[in-house]
Amino acid sequence: MFDKVLVANRGEIAMRVIRGCRDLGIRTVAVHSEADRNAAFTVLADEAVEIGPAPSAQSYLVIDRVIDAAKQTGAQAIHPGYGFLSENAAFARACADSGIVFVGPPPEAMSAMGEKVPARERMRASGVPIVPGTGAITTAEEAVSAAAEIGYPVLIKASAGGGGIGMKIVRSEPDLRDALDTAQSTARRAFGNDTVFLERYLDEPRHIEIQVLADQHGHVVHLGERECSIQRRHQKIVEETPSPVIDAEMRARMGNDAVTAARAVGYVNAGTVEFIYRDGEYYFLEMNTRLQVEHPITELVYGVDLVAEQLRIAAGEPLELRQQDLQPHGHAIECRVNAENPAKGFLPSPGQVTGYHEPAGPGVRVDSSLVAPALVSPNYDPMIAKLIVHAAGRGAALDRMRRALLEYVITGIHTNVSYHLALLSQPEFRAGRYSTHFIDQHPELIDDALVWAERQEPLRRLVRDPARVAAIAAAIVSA
């Protein structure tokens, strides 16, 4: 096992990886920008190295500076977390060239899954079901001909993309030409690659993903599914496992296909195979060649520390997990807590946190970038925490999450905590009847969130002015 690991990330995922390392007795190095000089993760790590100004393009994304920090501190391995350099094959190669272990898949596997068009063809050849679609499309004439064969509506997608960037839904031929130009130009600006392709668009689908682990000795297992259909602008905000619509037989089928997908590219370490699901049928979407934001719900339901497994695999140890032993126990839900204002179109809300109170109690876990009042920087993603609960069943987990959300107070900035309360109380969601369009179909949740915010106000007042409360308490005691 490694003696020292550098964590090439920030915020809550840096905190999570540092904790995982400490559980294994591994010393840690945090790299950070100027803006994160006093962040909690830099304090938690054993060592910290500043690598540049606040913009990530001048700090967290500069490969040479991250590698130099590892060499300077004697770190034997680098854990990239998610985002930033986590799916950058050039970074993985740079680590190898410097004699540093990259805690993730080989760069060849990363490249094989990094672009969607070749990944689709590889999955087709392996027998993994893929959404009917095309290879790379370059002209409007090709697109019109292909769409006629696939059938409308179709989805234009960027081959090198992610997060919905460059994605366009087209429901008729007249709209296809303009949509194609827009998608190509967006992909070119975002990814430096304007390759796009078409897929059949499935109305009211669900987004189901399968967690896999693969060691360096040819052993691959899956750890069930995560339901990730509650999305806003193609970004997940709530995840749960098990999915309300996946039974044991379907879980085994999808899990086997996920394992096949991993084997097809010589995958090693933790990864996630994403599927689109509707009415008992599912199709391969893509593979995320890293640890996912929503990994904690899998950890709670399967009793596996995924970060520890990543480190063991990277150190060359064989997996001790066996597929027949990996069975789900209970139900887990994760809510992503973002610094944003739902009432103003989810506008990001960075700034000074003046009061911070985390929920606790049975079955509650908080993975947060905050441990106390601090500055939320405008330079990075607005997600500041993940609230995760675990209970015996889905109903109990929903109730536990509501209780935990009511206790979660962050003052000084806007967050989506009250929006989560509104969402989890919505009858269709509680019944498990939802798709990736759920948020768009329920605009009333914005107003409902304001009502839930009022229920939190007494605790918010307490958190906002702890000094006054302490003074009152001291006066009562002295009297």
Confidence of residue 7 (pLDDT cuts 50, 70, 90): very high
Nearest in space to 385 (alpha carbons), one of 7, 15, 6, 8: 15
Other CB atoms closer than 10 Å to residue 358's CB: what's the count? 17
Whether a cis peptide bond, with omega within 30° of 0, leads into 153 is yes
Q: Calculate what percentage of the chain has a pLDDT beyond 70.
A: 96
- Check pLDDT > 70 for residue 368: yes
Could you tell me the two tokens for 291? Answer: 């640890």
65, 68, 46, 67: which is closest to 57 by C-alpha? 65
pLDDT at 475 over 80: no
10 Å Cβ neighbour count for 250? 16
Residue 115: its pLDDT value, please? 81
Q: What is the DSSP string of 201-233?
A: PPSS-EEEEEEEEE-TTS-EEEEEEEEEEEEET
79-99 pLDDT, tens digit per residue, is: 999 999 999 999 999 999 999
User: Which residue type sits at 297?
Assistant: I
| Of 20, 15, 12, 34, nearest in space to 338 by CA | 12
Element (H, E) at 196: strand 196-200
For 426-468, write each residue's pLDDT tens digit. 999 999 999 999 999 999 999 999 999 999 999 988 888 766 5
User: Of the CATH numbers 1.10.10.10, 3.30.470.20, 3.40.50.300, 3.40.50.720, which one belongs to the domain with range 209-463?
Assistant: 3.30.470.20
CATH topology identical between 4-103 and 209-463? no
479 pLDDT exceeds 80?
no
Q: Is the pLDDT of residue 1 over 80?
A: yes
Give the whole-angstrom CA distance, residue 123 versus residue 284: 8
Q: Is the pTM of this model over 0.95?
A: no
List strands edge to edge, sheet with 196-200. 168-170, 154-158, 196-200
CA-nearest of 206, 116, 97 to 429 is 206
Sequence-ordered strand ranges (E) for 370-429: 375-376, 383-391, 409-411
Taking the mean position of all CA atoms in its chain, how far away is CA 96? 26
Q: Work out the percent of the chain whose per-residue pLDDT is above 90.
A: 83
Phi, then psi, of 220 in degrees rounded to 5: -130, 135
DSSP reduced 3-state for 297: helix
Q: Provide the pLDDT for residue 154.
A: 94
Q: Where are the domains of the chain?
A: 4-103, 132-200, 209-463
Give per-residue pLDDT as tens, 261-301.
Answer: 999 999 999 999 999 999 999 999 889 999 999 999 999 99
Question: What is the enclosing helix (H) or strand (E) of 83?
Answer: none
| Token couple for 406 | 């009511």
Q: CA-to-CA distance for 381 and 38, rounded, in angstroms? A: 18
Structure tokens at 459: 């605790």
Catalytic residue, from 290, 312, 394, 400: name it: 290
Can you give the pLDDT at residue 190? 82
**d(C-alpha 288, C-alpha 311), whole Å:** 18
Instruction: Assess contact for 31 and 6: CB atoms under 8 A.
Output: yes
- Architecture per CATH, 4-103: 3-Layer(aba) Sandwich (3.40)
Contacts of residue 39, Cβ cutoff 8 Å, sequence gap at least 6: 10, 11, 32, 369, 374
pLDDT of residue 161: 72
Average pLDDT over residues 22-28: 98
**pLDDT tens, residue by residue, 246-262:** 999 999 999 999 999 99
161 Cβ contact partners less than 8 Å away, ≥ 6 residues apart: 116, 167, 187, 190, 191
Mean pLDDT of the chain: 94
- Per-residue pLDDT tens digits for 189-231: 888 888 999 999 988 999 999 999 999 999 999 999 999 999 9
pLDDT tens by residue, 104-113? 999 999 999 8
Query: What confidence score (pLDDT) does residue 407 get?
Result: 96
pLDDT for residue 477: 57
Q: Locate 454 and state its tokens.
A: 């009022």
Q: How crowded is residue 281: how many other Cβ atoms within 10 Å of its Cβ?
A: 11
The tokens for 149 are 């064969």
Task: Take residue 208 and report the two structure tokens written for it.
Answer: 């189901």
3.30.1490.20, 3.40.640.10, 3.50.50.60, 3.40.50.170: CATH of 132-200: 3.30.1490.20
The predicted model gives 383-410 an average pLDDT of: 98
Mean pLDDT, rounded, for 155-176: 85
CA distance 297 to 306: 11
pLDDT tier at 473 (50, 70, 90 boundaries)? low
Integer angstrom CA distances of residue 379 from 19, 53, 285, 383, 424: 25, 10, 30, 12, 30
pLDDT value at residue 476: 54
Evaluate if residue 417 carries a pLDDT over 60. Answer: yes
CA distance 272 to 275: 10
3-class SS letters over 97-126: HCCCEECCCCHHHHHHHHCHHHHHHHHHHH
Q: Is 290 in the active site? A: yes
Tabulate helix, strand, coil % of the chain (nearest 5): 40, 25, 35
